[in-house]
A and B are shown apart, each in its own frame.
Chain A
Amino acid sequence: MLEILNVKKSYKKGEEVLKGISLCVQEGDLFAFIGHNGAGKSTLIKCIAGILNFESGQIRVFGKDISKQSLEAKQCMAYVPDNPDMYPFMTGVDYISFILSCYGVSLQSVQQEMEAMAKAYEIYDALQSKVKEYSHGMRQKLVLLTAFLHHPKLLILDEPFVGLDPKAAKITRDYMHDFCKKGGIIFFSTHVLETAEKLCNKVAIIKDGEIISQGAMKDIVGNASLEDVFLEEDE
């Protein structure tokens, strides 16, 4: 379970980016986190991933406090950033090996799975090339592949569909769906509201650092579309 309790974060004194955010995401949830640019989506996601510190509140990942037991909390999650700045000097296979080694995953056990996923994403032939030669989409595929590969319990994805071709986007949606079916949690931000509406069972809308609406997708959307609800709430 992912618990976010009254999290406050500010980059400058007196300018709060997150104004006491509280959320709870259960096992099996596919949680969409939406909001306009600069609302605080990426900041909260980075706080959950243990990248940014926050002033007050608590984030617990399966009972582990991200501030106090960060290694244990990070061990059971994977993070995919909005802009995959990777190590350009590594080859694709080096990157996968590096990340999985850091999680202590037995690489032999995931070799076949890696090959299958890389072929599905159509980057298998590029895995021997340096990351600096990859396009944005290929980098995104590599980061997503690596995130799924070490079987985390919680996946935190910051706009995962940006740069993906339609086929890769479809594969990613399928992987996400399967992942949650097996009891995993996905917490992801997106601007593609149509996808979020179809894919997710829960949603939260953030505006200026505050959650203005959250709950089950069907309850929030009702008979309208998520886009309509979002635009209405955002005004």
Chain B
Amino acid sequence: MFFRLVKINFQSLFQSSFSKSKKSNAGLIILFVFVFAYVIAAMALGAWGQAQLYLQNQMPTYGLLITGALPTTILVFVLSFFGLHHMLFSATDYELLASMPIKTSTVCFARIFTQCIWYYIYVLMFYAPYLVVYCIVTPITFLQVLIAIIILLALPLLPITFGELFALCIGLIGSNSKVFRVIRGIVIALVMVAMVLLYSGFGQGSITLPNIFFFTWIVQSVAFVSWGSVFAFWAISIFPFVVLLLCISKYYSKLYERFHRTPKAKHAKPVNLHERTQFQALLKKEWQRLTSSAGYLLNSCLGFVFYICMPVVLYFAGVQNMGFSVLGAFCLAIAMLGMNSPLAVTFSLEGNAFYIIKSLPISTKTYIQSKVALQLCIMLPFAIVGSFLCGILMHFVWYEWLLLLLFSLGFSVLVTGYALFLAKRFYTFSYTNEIQVVKQSSAVLYHTLTCFAFLGVVLGVCIGAMYLMPLWIPLTVITLVTCVGGWVLLYKQMQVTAWQLNEIM
């Protein structure tokens, strides 16, 4: 029964992605493989570069073990916080399973097991390349390889435990009142910022939690072959995990009921309708959708937030003293602002509820404008603040700051235009088929890959041009091209999308 449930969990995870068409399924599998290969290659390349830097400066290469472990830990923590908690307490098939002669603890174990498989894939993608590079650049014995694998197996357990524990606590204290929701939001934001800042402490020899934790356990285990550290790392990883597993499985049904109990009716409060224009009503709808889902918010706006966080992180890491140029800031803007955007998946998120829009007297133009407006309203403030922080913290001169600001704004518009293109390319509302083929992951992937390709072009052009002319000249040209190209693309896309949506609206 356990494995049957695991199979069902995987089917429910993939049902939205796979369709009946063998051709599109094959395409999707190729896409998944490509993404995994791409991430592994990128991580390996980064690890290799870092290893060369360590070797050149005669620094110990065991730093790689920490560098790889840190983002993996943070990632698994975040995924556990959102993904595992969502699967445990928001899965729609709980009531069906609970009514059957299956122990709720089995259902719980199966769900945790399914998610854990995912997290181990992430660990393989993000941490294994660092381990492999470490094994290549450092003379290492078979025993050390064995220890490294043992460490790798234990690595995600603690972040999974803390992620779920944290999500449980937040969920239990949270209620529907606005005050609690604000507190919950602040706590989540603080934890995320704290984790980013903790990460930034690495590399300066400062005493930070990750340095102490990972050095004590992982480095001692692998680099210095300390079996004591191996056992200790396993013990501190597995013990809380098992405790959490037992507690959640024992109280699973009670916790589920707690998260799904009907809120008390809000008496006495007068219900007032809010007067809005069509555009305002649509914009409010988009805003509510974005802020109602932590997953959507995280997936689509993380890059924007990082554009503000990264200058601070880099500042604490002392990068400004190492000659962080405006070109680096341009690359940062492309990587962060182009990471993802809410607009790329906006049409597919309408899903079955798209009938509401289609039955209302709303023009496609207004509908698209509201979606574009939301993206720009969110993105532009982050672009302004991020470029401002970069300029201040990295000691840019005024024209560099101005260039960065203009580029960030222009690039935001360019990204918006491209995201609209992707949204229209990967829409999914279908009224003839109950199982909708959700193409959101494809849209997000194309979005990220294209922006990274753009980053490569900008970097290549600037590095090439630096041999012939001062850096500000190619940067100015790129800024102008981005700004003009961005507006043209957005304008054209809005027209084309309106026309294409008219065909189905």
Interface residues of A (CB under 8 A from B): 11, 46, 49-53, 70-72, 74-75, 78-79, 81, 83, 85-90, 93-94, 96-104, 106-108, 110-111, 114-115, 118, 124-130, 133
Contacts and interface: CB of A to CB of B under 8 A. Distances in A.
B431 A133 contact: no
Contacts, number: 114
B4 interface: no
Given A87-B353, A97-B274, A101-B280, A125 B431 contact: no
Given A90-B285, A101-B280, A126-B265, A85 B358 contact: no
A133 B260 CA distance: 9
B272 interface: yes
B361 A85 contact: no
A85 B273 contact: no
Interface stretch (B97-105, B287-295, B327-335, B337-345): B287-295
Contacts of A74: 359-361
A88 B356 CA distance: 13
Contacts of A71: 361-363
Contacts of A49: 355, 358-359
A133 B263 contact: yes
Given A11-B432, A53-B503, A81-B355, 7 more contacts: A74-B361, A89-B288, A89-B289, A101-B275, A102-B278, A111-B272, A133-B263
Given A46-B355, A51-B355, A94-B288, A75 B271 contact: no
B204 interface: no
B273 A97 contact: yes
A70 B176 CA distance: 39
Nearest to A124: B271
Interface string B361-378: 111000000000000000
B358 A103 contact: no
Nearest to A46: B431
B385 interface: no
A129 B353 contact: no
Interface in B414-452: 431-432
A133 B176 CA distance: 11
Contacts of A124: 271
A107 B275 contact: yes
A37 B181 CA distance: 44
A87 B281 CA distance: 13
Contact of A97 (B262, B276, B360): B276
A49 to B, nearest CB: 5
B380 to A, nearest CB: 24
Nearest to A111: B273
20 contacts: A49-B355, A70-B505, A74-B360, A78-B359, A86-B353, A90-B285, A90-B288, A93-B274, A94-B284, A97-B281, A99-B360, A100-B273, A101-B276, A101-B278, A102-B360, A102-B362, A108-B275, A114-B273, A118-B271, A129-B265
Interface of B: 176, 262-263, 265-267, 269, 271-278, 280-282, 284-285, 288-289, 291-293, 351-353, 355-356, 358-363, 431-432, 503-505
B267 to A, nearest CB: 6
A107 B361 CA distance: 17
Contacts of A79: 355, 359
B358 A50 contact: yes
Given A52-B431, A125-B266, A133-B262, A98 B359 contact: no
B431 A98 contact: no
Nearest to A53: B504
B289 A127 contact: no
Contacts of A46: 355, 431
B308 to A, nearest CB: 26
A85 B288 contact: no
Contact of B281 (A88, A101, A108, A126): A101
A138 to B, nearest CB: 11
Nearest to B276: A101
A63 to B, nearest CB: 16
A25 B62 CA distance: 80
Contacts of B276: 97-98, 101
A93 to B, nearest CB: 5
Given A52-B431, A85-B353, A97-B276, A125 B360 contact: no
Nearest to B503: A53
A104 B272 contact: no
A69 to B, nearest CB: 10
B176 A129 contact: yes
B271 A128 contact: yes
Contacts of A115: 271
Contact of B284 (A75, A96, A98, A110): A98
A81 B293 CA distance: 25
Contact of A127 (B263, B271, B363): B271
Nearest to A73: B361
A115 B20 CA distance: 47
A102 B357 CA distance: 9
A108 B272 CA distance: 9
Given A50-B359, A70-B505, A128 B269 contact: yes
A51 B431 contact: yes
B281 A125 contact: no
Contact of B285 (A87, A96, A118, A130): A87
A109 to B, nearest CB: 10
Contacts of A114: 271, 273
A115 B503 CA distance: 38
B161 to A, nearest CB: 29
Contacts of B266: 125, 128-129
A87 B271 contact: no
